[in-house]
Amino acid sequence: MSSSGQEVEAFCRVEHPRLLAALTLYTGDVDLAAELAQEALARAHRDWAKVGRMGSPGGWAHRVAFNLANSHFRRQRYERAARERAASRLPAAPGTPADGGDPDVLRAVAALPHRQREAVALRFLLDLSVDDTAARMGCAAGTVRALTSQAVARLREDSCLADVKDPSRA
Amino acid sequence: MRDLPTLLRDALPPDRPALDLTAVRGRSRALGRRRTLTGAAGAAVAVATAGALVLAGQGTPSDEQEVLLPPATSASASPPPDATPGPSPSPSPSEKPVEQPSQSRAEARRDGVVPAIAALPLRRRMQVVEQVKAPEGVWVLSRIPDDTGPYGNLGARRGTYGRDRVYAPEYGELLLLDAARQRVLRAYPLPGVPPTPRLPGEHATSLLLRPDAVYCGRQGDGGLPTSMLCRVDRDTLRGTVRLFVAPADDAAPSYLPAGWTVDSAPTEVAVFEELLVCGGALCTKGHDGRARFDPLTLELTD
């Protein structure tokens, strides 16, 4: 395999778990997240000669993945309906052994508006800085702060997350 | 108090699917084949020709310098002192507070803008991607800022996409503002083909000012694969748009605003990332090479 081929596959190995985690939180659907992550990485693989030279290939892949997710929601007509579907696909009972994780938390995140969800996924799950999150979302740093603050306030309205600490105030 | 990042990490199902590199490679090859096959009849030929010109030395990197507007000519937050008034006799900024609708209903009808967009104050309507100052005002390639509208849907929920409603993350505009950037003189909606925000380190030019017209471009991406070129005549302010619909985009527009054309050759080639002047002609450039385009019809010509 060429050095470029090794490079892009190393990139895929590093980015895949991060993409998958962020997209799972964003879409509330691990299967959809896996599909979107694979499509984004396939596009990075195809265009690696260009993407590999970018300042932030990971940022490019995340942008493509979230754009794909947004298009998916748009094509399902209305995002609200899509969110409800995504939420309904989550296990009804918390802590179902087959799924693991905490479906109550995922359901609460799935109920957030999509920009708040994206900000939460990038900022708190992937632990990106405010500036990096802003660059990936294509918005101002102040907008990221506002989105995450609104998201945390909204999450706290959920009884299972009432005692959550606002990480941006830590 | 519980820690949110920890809660989020613990909330994800532990048995998430593993990376399947074979599937990624296969899908990448399939994407490449689709690009080659579908672009061959039209734009791919143009790209190959443009690429040959570059190899032959006819499209030199120095050509690109001609179109990149120097920072001094770009609009800044402070109003330029010598700018001339724009063509639309709207109320002055002192008569019209910033939080007022950015356009009247009549202006929205004239420009084909969704009423819900026109009703937004300018700060909630405009997020600058690129801008350039001109005697007639400031041309701004813009997206809708974040947090505008409930869940990003603006307009009549059951209306036609692009005419009655838009999805904010997938909507952009070319705007002509007054010199102080306080009011919209003309708006050219770009539903479904918004300008692509720049990532750190990216400095492509998607807004090109020429003596007779201003041009804008968009390279299709993973989420919205359709590419686009636009032109606004600086004298008549008439706008035209040519869409280069990617085969993968099953959301190709069913409604075409006035002045829009769908190119007859579906294409997914990456030649729309930058606009530039090359050898006296207008070109687009991207990962797949360069292509000249007709300055009036916006068709790829070689």
- The residues spanned by each domain of chain A are 1-89, 95-170
Highest average pLDDT, of A100-109, B67-76, B133-142, B284-293, comes from B133-142
pLDDT of residue B147: 60
pLDDT digits (tens, 9 = 90+) for B140-166: 999 988 666 555 678 887 778 888 888
What is the model's pLDDT at position A84?
54
Q: In this structure, what token pair is assigned to residue A75?
A: 């094509």
Residue of B nearest to A144 (CA): B146
Which candidate, B169, B166, B192, B204, places its Cα nearest to that of B260?
B192
Highest mean pLDDT among A83-97, B13-27, B191-205: B13-27
Task: Answer yes or no: do A16 and B19 touch at CB < 8 A.
Answer: yes
Q: Is B77 on the interface with A (CB under 8 A)?
A: no
Is any Cβ of chain A less than 8 angstroms from the Cβ of B145? yes
Mean pLDDT of B269-278: 85
Task: Read off the amino acid at residue B175.
Answer: L
| Among candidates B10, B25, B170 on the partner chain, residue whose Cβ is nearest the Cβ of A101 | B10
pLDDT above 80 (res B68): no
Question: In the prediction, which pLDDT does B65 show?
Answer: 22
H-state helical runs in chain B: 4-11, 21-39, 43-55, 61-65, 105-111, 115-118, 122-125
pLDDT over 60 (residue A43): yes
CB B153 within 8 Å of CB A113: no
Q: What is the DSSP letter of B89?
A: -
Predicted local confidence at residue A16, as pLDDT: 94
pTM beyond cutoff 0.90: no
Q: What architecture is domain A95-170?
A: Orthogonal Bundle (1.10)
Q: Provide, as residue numbers in chain A, all residues whose Cβ is less than 8 Å from the Cβ of B32.
A: 46
B63 or B262: whose pLDDT is higher?
B262
pLDDT tier at A49 (50, 70, 90 boundaries)?
confident
Q: Sorting pLDDT into bands at 50, 70 and 90, what band is B83?
A: very low
For A70-121, the pLDDT digits (tens) are 777 766 644 454 445 455 555 443 333 335 578 888 888 888 888 889 999 9
Q: Does the distance separating the beta carbons of B28 and A101 come in below 8 Å?
A: no
Closest partner residue to B5 (CB to CB) among A50, A64, A167 is A167
> Of residues B240 and B165, which shows the higher confidence score?
B240
Q: Which of B24, B170, B270 sits opposite A42 (nearest CB)?
A: B24
Helix pair A130-137, A57-75: axis angle to 10 deg: 50
Helix (H, G, I), strand (E, B) or coil at B217: strand
